[in-house]
């Protein structure tokens, strides 16, 4: 981060001077982790020290920026973001389950409006949630950018000089060698160079450094997180999602009006929707028929035909869960299914005023008992309405209630309550097709008998008849387009790669000093230091490296001895 390092102003003095153990270590660990000018830096601004007491606007800005980009703030923001997410998992969310939000309103009439004001039902779109993550990402950017510059700079600089007292470093060893100091250093440079260390040599020492990929990985991780945020924003601006319930045999075109639910991105207009149309030809569901899992679904298959352009050539597709349809980047998913019993309503004058399938909505999954309403506004002399349940496999419970024993339509029945009067559709307010407003209607006295396919109810007072002619199935489809999808995946994988890189790689330095023992032999000192040995293992690497070096010198020394004997 952009903080000042007490030792960095004079690293040379520390490494070359007779420093204390602690500062010697620190001096070699930090390599010009220079301040970024966001702090009063005595090195660049001598007057800064005196400015400390009185903050001007710029001073305050600097102070604020330094606070924001500090590690402690990042920590606090991480926690805040975690905390801020919790209500989103506890309270029902408008974007995920609007029905649960309505239910929450009816259960907590006093609390719900207050929560709504605080964006409690839209936590992840709430201004306060955005404030936290924007601050976090600003903090992240404010940290990563200076670090990237620093990395680029230090990659161009040679490794630092070797400290004078190598024995004080965390990893250090020394041994005598029969070779002359110069030969020892030559050998050290050769070995370290072969291991792709960056080298710097000086009078009596070799300094080597390796492992920038640790920092590159770390930067990659954080930059990739920024990329992820941008990708999500991209999806929010240019993507859209919609739902459509489709009964077997029905066709729909991908337009905003044809979708039951449509959530366009901020920059999406009606003409941006991919102009495909699709037909649900047939829906099949199979269920487990025996054992403890009886009634649970085994497979769903929606047989579609679709055309990429209106009126274009059609293609077939078997739409299943985990097997979406992709039409020019727009994806179609199977997200629900149910039954649509078909009704024929004849009014008092003998006219057929209604003859179509009516999607019923499942209210439980083990037997797919479903609810729905039928509205016949054109019936005369009075408008007719019916509400009731569809039972795929009817059975009567011991207490005499109707229920469904199995989700497949093995013994399909409907049980309806009949109303006559005013459906209340003239008020101008658009009504849900799944609700019957019975405020201006009266319940008709019809024997409560479940209907089998083909059976009818004859309404009293010559108001008409209703026939349950059969049933079809429906599938609900989600249609989504998200241009941020691929960038998000790339960002996420890059973040993961950066994470692994930064955890596995370590930045380390090896120093070798060779001094003459007075004769033609050398005393060799080797020391190592790691800056980021997260996963551990530098100790082992250092031991291995030292041993290899030692053996190489021994061999060289033996060679020298043989050579001298030969002479």
Partner 1 sequence: MINPALAQISNAALISAIMAYGLAMLAYACDFAFNKRQVAALTPASASATREKVGQAALVGAAPGSDLADHMFGAEPADISQLADLDDRSGGASGAGSGTVVQSRWPTGSWLRTAFVLTCIGLVVHVAAIVTRGLAEDRVPWGNMYEFIAAITCAAVLILTLAAVRFRAYYMGLFVLLPVVIALVVDVVVVYTPAGEVAPALQSYWIAIHVTAMIIAIGMYIFGAVTTVLYLLAARHEARVAAGRESAVAGVMAQLPGSAKLDQLAYRAILFAFPAWTFAVIAGAIWADHAWGRYWGWDPKETWSFITWLVYAAFLHARATAGWRGKRAAYIQMVGIVCLMFNLVGVNIWISGLHSYAGLPH
Identify residues 234-253 at the interface with partner 1 (CB under 8 A). Answer: 241
Q: Which of 16, 26, 41, 541 binds partner 1 (CB under 8 A)?
A: 26
Interacting residues with partner 1 between 179 and 218 (CB under 8 A): 214-215, 218
Cβ 72 to partner 1, closest distance in Å? Answer: 6
Cβ atoms 308, 327 nearer than 8 A: yes
Q: 124 vs 395, which CB is nearer to partner 1?
A: 124
Q: Which of 114, 134, 261, 288 binds partner 1 (CB under 8 A)?
A: 288
Integer Cα distance of 237 and 287 in angstroms:
40
Q: Does residue number 488 form part of the binding site for partner 1 (CB under 8 A)?
A: yes
Cβ 524 to partner 1, closest distance in Å? Answer: 21
Residues near 305 by Cβ (< 8 Å), separated by ≥ 6? 278, 279, 281, 314, 315, 316, 317
Work out whether the CA dihedral 82, 86, 92, 97 comes out positive or negative. positive
The SS3 call for residue 188 is helix
Q: Which of 183, 200, 210, 222 binds partner 1 (CB under 8 A)?
A: 222
Interacting residues with partner 1 between 46 and 75 (CB under 8 A): 69-72, 74-75
Q: Which of 19, 34, 40, 143 binds partner 1 (CB under 8 A)?
A: 143
530: enclosing H helix or E strand: strand 522-530
Q: Does residue number 261 form part of the binding site for partner 1 (CB under 8 A)?
A: no
Q: Tell me how far CA of residue 547 lies from CA of 159, 173, 191, 515, 555, in angstroms.
A: 23, 10, 12, 19, 12
Cβ 95 to partner 1, closest distance in Å? Answer: 8
Q: Where are the beta strands (DSSP E) in 4-103?
A: none
Q: Does residue number 548 form part of the binding site for partner 1 (CB under 8 A)?
A: no
Cβ atoms 373, 436 nearer than 8 A: yes
**Up-side HSE of residue 444: CA atoms within 13 Å toward CB?**
24
How many chain residues bind partner 1 (CB under 8 A)? 88
Cβ 404 to partner 1, closest distance in Å? Answer: 17
Cβ 3 to partner 1, closest distance in Å? Answer: 5
Interacting residues with partner 1 between 76 and 95 (CB under 8 A): 78-79, 81-82, 85-86, 88-90, 93, 95
Cβ 483 to partner 1, closest distance in Å? Answer: 13
Integer Cα distance of 371 and 389 in angstroms:
4
Q: Does residue number 474 form part of the binding site for partner 1 (CB under 8 A)?
A: no
Q: Which of 384, 538, 545, 546 binds partner 1 (CB under 8 A)?
A: 538
Q: Which of 308, 320, 521, 550 binds partner 1 (CB under 8 A)?
A: 320
Residues near 562 by Cβ (< 8 Å), separated by ≥ 6? none
Q: Which of 503, 521, 556, 560 binds partner 1 (CB under 8 A)?
A: 503
**Up-side HSE of residue 385: CA atoms within 13 Å toward CB?**
22
- Site track 101-140 with partner 1 (rule: CB under 8 A), x = hit: ----------------------xx--------------xx
Integer Cα distance of 354 and 174 in angstroms:
98
């Amino acid at each position: 981060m952009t903080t000042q390092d007490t030792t960095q102003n004079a690293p040379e003095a520390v490494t070359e001077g007779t420093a204390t153990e602690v500062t010697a270590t620190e001096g070699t660990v930090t390599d010009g982790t220079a301040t970024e000018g966001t702090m009063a830096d005595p090195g660049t601004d001598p007057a800064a020290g005196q400015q400390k007491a009185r903050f001007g606007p710029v001073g305050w800005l600097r102070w604020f920026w330094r606070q924001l980009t500090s590690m402690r703030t990042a920590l606090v923001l991480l926690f805040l973001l975690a905390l801020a997410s919790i209500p989103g998992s506890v309270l029902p969310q408008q974007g995920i389950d609007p029905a649960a939000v309505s239910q929450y309103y009816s259960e907590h009439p006093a609390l719900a409006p207050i929560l709504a004001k605080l964006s409690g039902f839209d936590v992840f779109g709430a201004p306060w949630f955005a404030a936290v993550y924007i601050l976090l990402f600003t903090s992240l950017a404010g940290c990563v950018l200076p670090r990237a510059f620093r990395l680029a700079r230090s990659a161009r600089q040679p490794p630092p000089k070797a400290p004078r007292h190598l024995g004080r470093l965390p990893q250090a060893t020394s041994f005598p060698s029969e070779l002359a100091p110069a030969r020892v250093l030559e050998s050290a440079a050769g070995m370290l160079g072969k291991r792709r260390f960056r080298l710097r040599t000086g009078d009596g020492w070799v300094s080597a450094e390796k492992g920038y990929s640790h920092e590159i990985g770390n930067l990659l991780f954080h930059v990739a997180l920024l990329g992820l945020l941008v990708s999500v924003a991209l999806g929010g601006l240019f993507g859209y999602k919609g739902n459509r319930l489709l009964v077997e045999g029905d066709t729909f075109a991908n337009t905003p009006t044809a979708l039951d639910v449509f959530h366009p991105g901020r920059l999406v207009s009606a003409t941006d929707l991919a102009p495909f149309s699709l037909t649900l030809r047939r829906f099949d569901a199979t269920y487990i028929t025996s054992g403890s899992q009886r009634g649970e679904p085994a497979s769903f298959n929606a047989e579609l035909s679709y055309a990429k352009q209106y009126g274009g050539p059609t293609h077939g597709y078997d739409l299943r869960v985990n097997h979406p349809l992709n039409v020019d980047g727009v994806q179609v998913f199977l997200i629900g299914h149910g039954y649509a019993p078909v009704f024929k309503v004849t009014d008092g004058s003998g006219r057929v005023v209604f003859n179509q399938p009516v999607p019923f909505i499942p209210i439980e999954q083990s037997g797919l008992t479903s609810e729905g309403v039928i509205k016949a506004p054109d019936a005369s002399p009075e408008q007719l309405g019916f509400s009731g349940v569809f039972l795929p496999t009817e059975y009567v419970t011991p207490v005499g209630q109707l229920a469904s024993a199995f989700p497949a339509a093995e013994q399909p029945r409907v049980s309806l309550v009949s109303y006559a009067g005013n459906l209340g559709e003239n008020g101008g307010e658009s009504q849900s097709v799944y609700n019957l407003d019975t405020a201006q209607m009266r319940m008709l006295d019809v024997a409560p008998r479940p209907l089998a396919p083909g059976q009818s109810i004859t309404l009293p007072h010559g108001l008409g008849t209703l026939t349950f002619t059969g049933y079809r199935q429906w599938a609900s489809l989600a249609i989504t387009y998200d241009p941020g999808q691929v960038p998000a995946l790339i960002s996420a994988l890059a973040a993961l790669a950066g994470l692994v890189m930064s955890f596995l790689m370590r930045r380390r330095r090896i120093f070798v000093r060779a001094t003459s023992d007075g004769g033609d032999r050398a005393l060799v000192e080797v020391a190592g230091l790691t800056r980021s040995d997260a996963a551990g293992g530098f100790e082992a690497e250092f031991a291995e490296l030292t041993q290899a070096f030692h053996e190489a010198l021994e061999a060289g020394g033996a060679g020298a001895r043989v050579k001298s004997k030969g002479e």
